[in-house]
A and B are shown apart, each in its own frame.
Chain A
Amino acid sequence: MRNSWVEEFWRLLFVLLLAAIAGLLSGYFLLAVCLALLAYIARNLYNLQRLISWLSQPDRASVPVHFGIWGGIYAMVERMRSAHSQRERRLSDLLGQFQASAAALPDAAIALGPMGDIRWFNDAAQQMLGLRRPLDLGQPLVNLFRTPELVQYLRARDFSQALEVTAPGNRSRKLSIRVTHYGDGQLLLLAQDVTERYLSEQIRKDFVANVSHELRTPLTVISGFVENMQIDEASVPQQWRKPLDLIADQAERMRHIVEDLLLLARLESASKESPREPIDVSELCRGITREAQALAGERLQIEVQIASDFGLAGDPVQIRSAFTNLVVNAVNHTPAGGHISLKWRDEGSSSCFEVADDGEGIAPEHIPRLTERFYRVDVGRSRERGGTGLGLAIVKHVLQKHGAALEIESAIGEGSRFTCRFPAHRRISMSA
């Protein structure tokens, strides 16, 4: 631009010089200079007008003026325009690439505005959910995808867990839905077809339940007859008495495992939340303590401490089963002379049932896997003690149904503490 000003300056000077010469020659110096300046102004106004009309009707081929300031202005505007259109082309390319890759996604992707209105969706979404382009753009998604669970899910705005629903309009397919926030209050909804996974889960669960059921009957028959033989001692030869006892023990163990498996199958297949019956936890704890003390005999000291007035709303059988499992585990894994303490206490807005022992403890690498079915820390030892390997899995499932969490703390040689933390909405006051 500086060159332009310089050019302009020289031009003005030239014009004035001409005017001066003409003025001196004609004798009307001032007049000549005035006329020259007027002409200069008029010329500039004319150029201004040309600029205005050029800006409103851009015709890139013909830039009217190349000289002076005006030329400079035209050049600047040209540069701005070309930079702008380059940027636009780049953006449009990027957008095209993105849309192509999104179209290729096998999962359905839908971009939603803050009010849940459909901003954009890919081809997979079109197929999976029956959406139509461009008709459905701007429509709230829940007007078309009306499954009540999804409506609830989007309203609650809690996307920490994926949601599994049946596909609308095609109830044989199951979809797993995930939502993430992005941009300015916008949401991205991804739906994945998980029918295969769901079906194989179902098959697995059915298999386990069926097998367990089928095993029950033969086991009952075996146990029954073995018991008869044990009672009628006289008819059993001496050498077979001990083997018979062993058979009875093993049959009993198998029966336990089958019962636990069936319980787990029932827990898995039933509804998400357990029913709400009142449970007197302090009474339950005392009862369990008595039973555990009977089981442990002289070997261990078991005490109970009730520090909360609350009871629980849940399934009494399940809760009893879960608590008993924890206590029996403690009894089995604490050597003679040890202590086990049960506590029922409040902590903030939750209430905790705690079983602590000063037994052998559990190494940190085992702790995350403890609640897996049949997971054993020390295979040989715990099998001997008659555990089924399913106790903690049962505890975990029961707690899940009650909205509770299981916390495990342990150190080798010092002991372990298992805590069941129940949320406020499962507590009931036992003042009655």
Chain B
Amino acid sequence: MDKSELLQHYSHQFNNDLEQIRSAVLAMGGLIEQQLEKAIEALRSAEVEQAEMVVANDYKVNAFDVDIDERCTKILALRQPTASDLRLVLTVIKTTADLERIGDEAKRVARMAIRTGSSDPGRNLYLRIEHLGSQVRQMLHRTLDSFARMDVDEAIEVAHEDRKIDREYESIMRQSMTYMMEDPRSIPLLMDIIWSARALERIGDRCCNICEYVIYFVKGKDVRHTSLEQIQKEFGE
């Protein structure tokens, strides 16, 4: 399956429809990238206004979700696509669902930023969250790029990154628990930090899912429950 196959269609309009849902997913991705960036920035710099904007803009994410679902349903009903076209529509539907969840997690991070406001303890941990945040942002960016380019190699690489993120998350958890045991008064704040870290880690997982959809679309094989090593063995090129 390559781009030229995507373009050979007897119906020019059909071709347009498919291109449009692809672009719509990527536009939604762009919005979510921005939401995530603002949420993390708000957490770092305690800018409550920025965080409130993220929460307010969530309706735009949902609007995208609804719009893309409608378009996909229409395509499925009217065109009854087959083979790679069908895989494309399915990939778009699944990716949209995951993106919408990522949007929710970003909103969660923003809410956390509003709550912690400008309190300062656990500075060290905040730095770790910031680091985790920028890793996750990078991962999302690369995921969307690999979707745009239908690049399997990139998708596999990005899926690999998720391991780093999981490790980072675990280490933040351990450190938080240590702080909590040392000073029980810091527990509320540390709970917030843990929630933020969790939200970010889940975003990483969702990006992994999207990469698996990309691989599915390009290679025609469902790799969702296959281990990374096996994927690499099969498609490593």
Contact = CB atoms under 8 A, between A and B. Distances in A.
A144 interface: yes
A144 B37 contact: no
Interface residues of A, number: 17
Interface of B, secondary structure class, is helix
A143 B148 contact: yes
Given A169-B141, A171-B37, A151 B30 contact: yes
A305 interface: no
Interface string A372-416: 000000000000000000000000000000000000000000000
Which of under 10, 10 to 19, 20 to 34, or 35 or more describes the interface residues of B? Answer: 10 to 19
Nearest to B35: A148
A250 interface: no
Given A143-B22, A146-B33, A168-B141, A151 B27 contact: yes
Contacts of A168: 33, 141
B149 A146 contact: no
A25 interface: no
Interface string B125-138: 00000000000001
B101 to A, nearest CB: 18
Nearest to B134: A171
A136 interface: yes
Interface string A151-168: 100000000000000001
A147 interface: yes
Interface of A is mostly: loop
A36 B29 CA distance: 83
B48 to A, nearest CB: 14
A146 B27 contact: yes
A220 interface: no
B223 interface: no
A93 B30 CA distance: 40
Interface centre among B22, B31, B138, B145 (most CB of A within 10 A): B145
Interface of A: 130, 132, 135-136, 138-140, 142-144, 146-148, 151, 168-169, 171
Interface of B: 3, 19, 22-23, 26-27, 29-31, 33-34, 37, 138, 141, 144-145, 148-149, 151
Top 5 nearest A-B pairs (CB, nearest first) are A146-B30, A143-B148, A143-B26, A148-B31, A151-B27
9 contacts: A132-B149, A136-B149, A143-B23, A144-B148, A146-B26, A146-B33, A148-B30, A151-B30, A169-B138
Given A143-B23, A146-B33, A151-B27, 20 more contacts: A130-B145, A132-B149, A135-B149, A135-B151, A139-B149, A140-B23, A142-B23, A142-B26, A142-B27, A143-B22, A143-B26, A144-B148, A144-B149, A146-B26, A146-B31, A147-B30, A148-B27, A148-B31, A151-B30, A171-B37
